[in-house]
């Protein structure tokens, strides 16, 4: 089977539409009350790798439902007047998620280029996540 568009084409298209914040710049924004880091990784990744302190965990599979105020799963955090910096492990899921959130009308969306891996390499703070 040949796909009409592979993941690389989807990522390239997303990157043309969204704001990418390099990890060192994102680290400088950490602690700003107007910025919320949104961790899109699954729970196992958080427990294995840790997270950015204060980040809001939103599993990628729930993003659209948690953003939409008409959804029964809506999370009020996404209605706050903040800048949302999405991240995942390497920046692929977060790029696609930022594009989707932006298309849904969520203002102030960007993603951390290179994801949590780049964040750690840039010296950004991390904290462990206890297993459930």
Domains of the chain, start order: 20-121 (3.40.250.10)
pLDDT tens digits for 43-85? 999 999 999 999 999 999 999 999 999 999 999 999 999 999 9
First-to-final CA distance of the chain: 40
Residues in the chain: 132
Distance CA 119, CA 90 (A): 9
- What pLDDT is recorded for position 55? 98
In which order are the strands placed within the sheet that holds 35-39?
20-22, 109-113, 83-87, 35-39, 56-57
Predicted TM-score (pTM) above 0.75? yes
State pLDDT tens for residues 4-31.
789 999 999 999 999 999 999 999 999 9
Sign of CA dihedral 80, 26, 22, 119: negative
Higher pLDDT, 48 or 1: 48
């Amino acid at each position: 089977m040949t796909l009409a568009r592979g993941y690389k084409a989807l990522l390239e298209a997303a990157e043309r539409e969204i704001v990418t914040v390099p990890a060192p710049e994102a680290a400088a924004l950490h602690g700003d009350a107007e910025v919320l880091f949104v961790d899109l990784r699954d729970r196992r990744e958080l427990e294995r790798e840790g997270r950015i302190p204060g980040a809001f965990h939103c599993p990628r599979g729930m993003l659209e439902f948690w953003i939409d105020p008409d959804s029964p799963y809506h999370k009020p955090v996404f209605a706050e007047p903040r800048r949302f910096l999405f991240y995942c492990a390497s920046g692929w899921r977060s790029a696609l998620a930022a594009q989707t959130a932006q298309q849904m009308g969520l203002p102030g969306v960007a993603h951390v280029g290179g994801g949590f891996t780049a964040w750690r390499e840039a010296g950004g703070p991390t904290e462990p996540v206890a297993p459930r």
